Amino acid sequence: MPQVDNNKKDKHEDEHYEVCWIDKIEVARRQIREAVRLFFGARDPVAIHTLIASAHQILGDISDKRGAQSVLKNVKRVNYPFNFLKHADRDPDAKINIGPLLRFSGDFIMDAILMLQQIAGDIPIEANIFWTWFVSKYPEQLDNLPDGSEIRKMQQHKLADWDFRRISYFLEFAEIVKDVNF
């Protein structure tokens, strides 16, 4: 939940707007939540990648300062699409193949989730669902895990067998349940 400091004034404040301060970790958390929802909603891969790459950049910068680690190797190579999508100063007429963008986005989402977990200690339900889907979808990336490990338990749910529409409905239901006080 964002921390609100109603006493803090900023040059961007206006009496017509509500004051609600959030930190960089909360920004990344919200970006992850929405990127996961867009991903399972089968929305535009350009929008998904732009959003998750922003969260990944924030968490990568914080990780450098706090000792958390990204698991992506050669981030500069996989970061090329993000740079392409946000800049046109050097190459306004360039084109990019967006075919592999969803896979890149999936890797960025997973890595951002892992960094958020290391930094904040908790992750939103969307991140838990994505993590469970990811380890079920790509089990070959997780060799040599003991049978009783948490990852193996996640894989047993076989969330990769669910279609994205079903996962989207599940996320909507989780949002409803979260708001209900039992």
pLDDT of residue 58 exceeding 80, the answer is yes
Task: Measure the CA–CA gap between 7 and 54, rounded to whole angstroms.
Answer: 29
DSSP per-residue codes, 60-121: HHHHHHHT-----S-HHHHTHHHHHHH--SS-TT-----TTHHHHHHHHHHHHHHHHHHHHS
Q: Please, which residues have CB within 8 angstroms of residue 177's CB and are 6 or more apart in sequence?
A: none
Q: What pLDDT, on the 0 to 100 scale, is given for residue 168? A: 94
Task: Measure the CA–CA gap between 147 and 76, rounded to whole angstroms.
Answer: 34
Q: What pLDDT, on the 0 to 100 scale, is given for residue 2? A: 58
Task: Measure the CA–CA gap between 127 and 56, rounded to whole angstroms.
Answer: 13
pLDDT of residue 115 exceeding 80, the answer is yes
Model confidence over 154-166: pLDDT tens digits?
888 888 899 999 9
Structure tokens at 14: 């206006």
Q: What pLDDT, on the 0 to 100 scale, is given for residue 3? A: 60
Q: Is 102:45 a contact under the CB 8 Å cutoff?
A: yes
- By percentage, how much of the chain surpasses pLDDT 70? 82
What is residue 10's DSSP assignment?
-
Q: Please, which residues have CB within 8 angstroms of residue 12's CB and are 6 or more apart in sequence?
A: none
Give the C-alpha distances (Å, rounded to integers) separating 55 from 104, 141, 164.
14, 23, 22
Q: Which residue has the higher pLDDT, 4 or 68?
A: 68
Identify residue 5 by its one-letter amino acid code.
D
